[in-house]
Amino acid sequence: MNKKVNTALFIIGATIGNIVVMVLLVFVGFVLLRLVLGPNANTQLATGLTLLVFFVAIAGSFFIYHQIVKLITKHVDMEKYFHPIFRPRKR
């Protein structure tokens, strides 16, 4: 495989992995929310906390993704295996 194929596969795999982590964090957040609030929760409070869980899951999945990519780049020479996505502008 060449660098462009490696780059495309990495982007697809990283995107799918990031979505899976986000869904898991949302699920865990909803389960914890249900345990904390109980079945007779205030509707406005539950709605606000549900939005908070969703945004925390997005931020958490980004943080986990960033840490994994940082770990990979520390151990693997990315320029050797991947095509640069963004190139500097020609002036």
**What CA–CA distance (Å, rounded) separates 3 from 45?**
49
Q: How confident is the model at residue 86, as a pLDDT? A: 62
**What CA–CA distance (Å, rounded) separates 84 from 14?**
16
Instruction: Please give the residue that has the higher pLDDT: either 5 or 58.
Output: 58
Residue 87 lies in a domain: no
Residue 91 lies in a domain: no
Q: Which residues contact 64 (CB under 8 A, 6 or more apart)?
A: 21
Q: How confident is the model at residue 11, as a pLDDT? A: 85
Q: How many beta carbons lie within 10 A of that of residue 53, not counting itself?
A: 19
Over the chain, what is the mean pLDDT? 85
**pLDDT tens track for 2-18:** 878 888 888 899 899 99
Q: If you average pLDDT over residues 51-61, what whole number do you get?
A: 94
Residue 45 lies in a domain: yes
Domain count, the chain: 1
Q: Up-side HSE of residue 10: CA atoms within 13 Å toward CB?
A: 18
Residue 90 lies in a domain: no
- pTM metric for this prediction: 0.78
Residue 88 lies in a domain: no
Domain holding 12, by residue range, is 3-81
pLDDT bracket for residue 81 (50, 70, 90): confident
Residue 86 lies in a domain: no
Whether the pLDDT of residue 19 is over 90: the answer is: yes
Whether the pLDDT of residue 89 is over 70: the answer is: no
